[in-house]
């Protein structure tokens, strides 16, 4: 039995073995590998919060994550979302910018299937 982050469980077939070390297979066959690429001006942005939501209603599966990019970061930030239904790849994200002047700018949620997301 696999215990998921959202509190639900997924049961897979039991296997009998005499082994002392066991490889555990991921119960999900596919995943979304999402990359958020910082392309903003670091002299204007102190940090960015990225809210990501994924919902697969047919399988009663949800994922909600908050990621953070520091203003001086040049490296992408990654998120892996395991999929129950490999066809359902739509997710949504929202960017919230904290400026170097401490102003907050929250954008609307964007729904997409794209996995390379520019943060501007």
Per-residue pLDDT tens digits for 74-119:
999 999 999 999 999 999 999 999 999 999 999 999 999 999 999 9
Asked if 12 contacts 37 with a C-beta cutoff of 8 angstroms, the reply is no
Please report, for the chain, the start and end positions of each structural domain, with discontinuous segments joined by +.
Answer: 2-11+26-119
- Collapsed DSSP state (helix, strand, coil) of residue 6: coil
CATH 2.60.40 fits 2-11+26-119, yes or no: yes
Separation between Cα atoms, residue 56 and residue 91, nearest integer Å:
9
Report the share of the chain in percent with pLDDT over 70.
86
């Amino acid at each position: 039995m696999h215990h998921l982050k959202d509190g639900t469980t997924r049961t897979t077939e039991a296997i009998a073995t005499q082994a002392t070390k066991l490889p555990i297979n991921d119960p999900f066959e596919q995943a979304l590998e999402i990359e958020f690429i910082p392309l903003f001006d670091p002299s204007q942005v102190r940090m960015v919060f990225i809210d990501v939501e994924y919902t697969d209603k047919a399988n009663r599966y949800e994922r909600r994550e908050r990621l953070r990019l520091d203003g001086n970061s040049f490296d992408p930030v990654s998120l892996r979302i395991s999929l129950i239904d490999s066809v359902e790849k739509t997710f949504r994200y929202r960017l919230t910018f904290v400026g170097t002047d401490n102003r907050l700018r929250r954008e609307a949620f964007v729904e997409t299937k794209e996995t390379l997301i520019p943060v501007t």
